Structure formats: C-alpha cells, structure tokens
Amino acid sequence: MIGTHRERERYALTDTESGHVWGVCAEVEGLFREPPRGTYELFGWVPDGAEVRGWVGGRVWLVPDDGTFGPWLLEDAESLGRHPGTDGLVLTGLDDYEGPPEGHRAPVRLHDGFRWLGSCREFARVLPPERPEPPLVLRGLAPSDRLRRALATGTRRALDLDEARLEIRDGRGEPLTDRLLRPKVRTWRPSSRRTDLTDLELDGHLEPVPGYVRPIWERWLAGPPDTSGAWAGLETRERGPWLDLVRERGCRLKHRARQPGHAYDLDGRHITDEPGLYLALGEAVNGPGGYFGSSPDALADCLRGNFGHTAPATLLWRDTATAREYLSHALSPEGEGYDLLGLVLDILIGGGMRVTFG
C-alpha cells in the first residue's frame, strides 16, 4: 500500500546553494549508526571521590595543569574502567582532535561541567581506525527532473551533488531537523515500491545518529509531544539529544508573539541537569516540546525576540530547590566555579522577564 503524500515527503535531499530539491522519499537507511569513537588511556589515574564508571558525561573537559594548552572536549564520554595491570583509566568518546599533541606529559584534570572527576599524570590518545562509511540509501525517492538528467548522464561530475542537506520532517509534515553531507551518487535502481521511484545510494560524510538516540528520534518523527514533561523520565544522556531536536525544530518554527505582560508557569520538579533546565524553560514559554534556549547565550538570543517572548513578562518558577541543588555549582571549561542557575536568572531578568518563585 502506498503511503500518504506527507509520509512520502518525510525526507528531502536539498542543494544548500540553490535550494533545489533533488528528491523526496519516506525511508532512509544509514542514518542511524555508531560514530567513530576515540580512546584515551589516562595513566596515573587518581579519582576525585568515587571511581569513574560507565557513561561519564555529554561533555567532559580535560584541563592541563600547566596551562600550556587550553581545555579540550571529549563528548559523550564513557569509562571502560581501569586498564588491566596498569594504574590507568580508559575513556572513549567523540573527540574533536584539537587537544594537546600526542606525547603531552603534563598532568591533566578532568571534569564534567559540574564536578571534578580526577586527574592523571599523562595520557595516550588512540584515534578510531579509518573505515569506509556505509552508503546513505534513499528508498523510494521521487527524483527531480534535474536529478533524472544527472543519472541519465552518469558521469562522475554529474553524479557529484556537491553540498546538500537531508531535510527531515515529522509525521505532521513539520520541519524537524537536517543533516549536512557532500553526496556522490554511488548507484541507483528502480524502486520496488513504484516504477517511477528510485532507490538512490549516496557516498558522502554524514553525521550519524547513535543507536541509543534512535528511540528519541523515532518519538519525534511521529510528531512533537502534546503534553509537557515527556522528557522528564529520561537520563541526562538521553535528555541531551532530546534538547538537540527541540532546538533544531524550534529554530525552524515561526513563533506567535505574545502581548507584553504575559505570565508563564515553569514546572521545576525535573530540573536535575542542564538539559532539563532548558527543556523546562522551553515548555514554560512555548508549550509541550517548545524551545527557548539551549545554553546561556542561546537563551539571551531567544529573549531578544522571535521565540514567543515579548518583554515585559512574568515567569512563576515552581520548585526552584531542585535546580538550586543540581545547578548552583557548575564548572567552566577551564574548571572555574560559577552558579549556572544564578546566571540563567540574571539573563532572564535582563531580558525583561520578572521571575517569581512558588
């Protein structure tokens, strides 16, 4: 049975320069897979308190003690525990490869943005092996006339689609997110769905969606939540990707401007981490699944307009004790302490939001 028109247009491959749509389809293979992860061996590991085990944090900062280099970031970090027979700890994560050079010998301290995890005397970094990326397969693609001509020409130049975006809509047909890639057509064949559709295989760098994020994406692909707090039962590791989708969708929406003096109500019971802070704020201002910042700078931008807020306004923040417990003692990338909750309150007040507590 052929799906609805909206289902057939869930994914669109679009040229970033001209806006031309190469084609639309309802199914994509190769979007969900594990990204390559780097490995760190931290020698002479001394934990600050409890041993570091399992998932460590969405953002773990490694701070050289000697100040020769600035801190560098290991994202989605996991601890594999102590290296057998050594005094070292093994971490894996998504590495930007912009940290100190190999062989750096100065001691390094680690923190997750809120607590110091420990220190080591030196480290060794093992980059992930080079592996060919699997193709991105667009199943049942309805190609544009321009793409049909490129496939008919069949030359290497014609099949190089330069820079493109895979634009993704939810089940209601609303823009959700996108992925940037530089696609080259590998192969194509008539689709088994219909003779006028094509199964298109593309080579090209694509930021993959890890397996643990897939249930969150599938939830959002069905459509935005219709009740607040759908994220509340998630662990911090899952709240981060949820917030990513909230941000990417929210930045694509046209928000209805409210009249000055509007009153918002914020449920603070589940603000036990930084993603929860921005998720609760977003829903207070813009309803279930709503966006209103994902960092202090982004919050300040939202307060300037175009995201549903018109100054002056009032925010009733219920149960602030939870946020004070978890967010009052944060660490900058360099490891300097600050009050994240206090900073957010200052930004809200500076943006014309009168905050009261209930």
- Tell me which residue of 139, 125, 133 sits closest to 93, measured CA to CA: 125
For residue 3, what pLDDT is reported? 43
Helical axes 340-350 vs 274-286, angle rounded to 10°: 30
pLDDT at 128: 78
User: pTM of this prediction?
Assistant: 0.93
Tell me the mean pLDDT per 10 residues along the chain, length 358: 55 96 96 90 92 94 85 93 88 76 78 96 82 91 96 94 96 94 95 92 89 96 96 98 98 89 96 98 97 98 92 96 97 97 98 95
At 7 the pLDDT is 53
Distance, in Å, from the CA atom of 235 to the CA atom of 240, rounded to the nearest integer, reads 9
Radius of gyration of the chain (CA): 23
Q: In the prediction, which pLDDT does 100 show?
A: 62
d(CA 112, CA 110): 7
Q: How far is the C-alpha of 30 from the C-alpha of 293, rounded, in Å?
A: 30
pLDDT of residue 2: 39
* The predicted structure's pLDDT at residue 294: 98
How far is 36 from 219, CA to CA, in rounded Å? 25
**Cα gap 53→51, rounded to integer Å:** 6
Instruction: Say if CB 208 and CB 34 are below 8 A apart.
Output: yes
Q: What per-residue confidence (pLDDT) applies to 1?
A: 33
